């Protein structure tokens, strides 16, 4: 078959540094990247994958005195990845929704259909990994007192991740359902046209994931 594909990659970043008076040194940065990949291979339906990555960081160092300073930092990272076998809404025209009424993210989907004997099958799929949002805050304090340099601080991270992947649903057609008593009779395509699969399966229930993780850490040091 003939295959065509296209990849588009965009990335940009900006940063700001500023001194607030004599006591505050501040900086902030924003970065963004997007990667789109599409391909089409006859006779299969086209596939599209979209990836996007966003990163934000901000930090401020405050000087209370020559021997006492504090740095506060904030970070945000967002990751999103969507992959789909798309194309025209052919599920209704193909008649698969009567037996497998599947929707994924609001789109009618044709489950994987395998036809043995060298015939091309049909399949539409979908998945998304994210958005995943990671938020973190950090605080570092340093105090010099006599011969001691005392440092302490803490860090907190919150990770929120959602995902889903169309999986576990399929139909397989072989020559067996249309075969007669004579060896070598029957045809997998005839079995498909008469709606007689040799095997089928589907996942019952939700496969969605919505997960939250919280991480904490603290430290103290005296040099």
The average pLDDT across 197-212 equals 86
What tokens were used for 127? 């998945």
**Per residue in 139-159, pLDDT tens?**
999 999 999 999 999 999 999
| Contact (CB, 8 A) for 39 and 4 | yes
CA 2 to chain centre: 28
Query: Is residue 110 scored above 80 in pLDDT?
Result: yes
**Per residue in 80-91, pLDDT tens?**
988 877 666 778
pLDDT-based confidence at 204, cuts 50/70/90?
A: confident
**Per residue in 59-86, pLDDT tens?**
999 999 999 999 999 999 999 988 877 6
Q: For residue 188, how many other CB atoms are within 10 A of its CB?
A: 21
Supply the pLDDT for residue 86.
Answer: 65
Backbone angles phi, psi at 12, to 5 degrees: -150, 160
Supply the pLDDT for residue 5.
Answer: 84
**CA 138 – CA 156 distance, rounded (Å):** 6
Q: Which of 63, 73, 47 is nearest to 156 (CA)?
A: 73
Supply the pLDDT for residue 42.
Answer: 65
Query: Is residue 128 scored above 90 in pLDDT?
Result: no
Torsion, Cα of 193, 195, 200, 206 (10° steps): 100
In DSSP terms, 25 is beta-bridged to 19, 61
Q: What rounded mean pLDDT belongs to the chain?
A: 88
The average pLDDT across 97-109 equals 80
Q: Name, in order, each residue with C-beta under 8 angstroms of 167's C-beta and a sequence gap of 6 or more.
A: 203, 207
The average pLDDT across 193-204 equals 85
Half-sphere exposure of 44 (CA within 13 A, CB side): 20
**25 vs 82 pLDDT, higher one:** 25
């Amino acid at each position: 078959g003939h295959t065509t594909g296209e990849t588009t990659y965009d990335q940009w970043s900006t940063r700001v540094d500023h001194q607030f008076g004599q006591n505050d040194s501040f900086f902030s940065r924003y970065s963004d990247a997007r990667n789109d990949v599409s391909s089409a291979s006859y006779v299969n339906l086209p596939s599209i994958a979209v990836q996007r990555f966003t990163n934000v960081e901000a930090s401020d160092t405050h000087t209370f005195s020559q021997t006492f300073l504090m740095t506060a930092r904030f970070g945000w990272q967002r990751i999103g990845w969507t992959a789909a076998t798309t194309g025209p809404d052919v599920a209704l025209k193909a008649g698969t929704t009567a037996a497998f009424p599947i929707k994924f993210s609001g789109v009618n989907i044709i489950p994987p259909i395998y036809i043995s004997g060298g015939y091309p099958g049909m399949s539409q799929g979908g998945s998304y990994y994210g958005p995943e949002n990671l938020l973190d805050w950090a605080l570092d304090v340093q105090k010099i007192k006599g011969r001691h340099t005392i440092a302490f601080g803490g860090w907190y991270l919150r990770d929120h991740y959602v995902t889903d992947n169309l999986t576990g649903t399929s139909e397989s057609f072989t020559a067996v359902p249309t075969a007669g008593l004579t060896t070598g009779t029957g045809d997998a395509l005839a079995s498909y046209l008469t709606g007689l699969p040799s095997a089928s399966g589907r996942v019952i229930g939700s496969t969605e994931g919505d997960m939250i993780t919280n991480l904490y850490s603290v430290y103290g040091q005296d040099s």
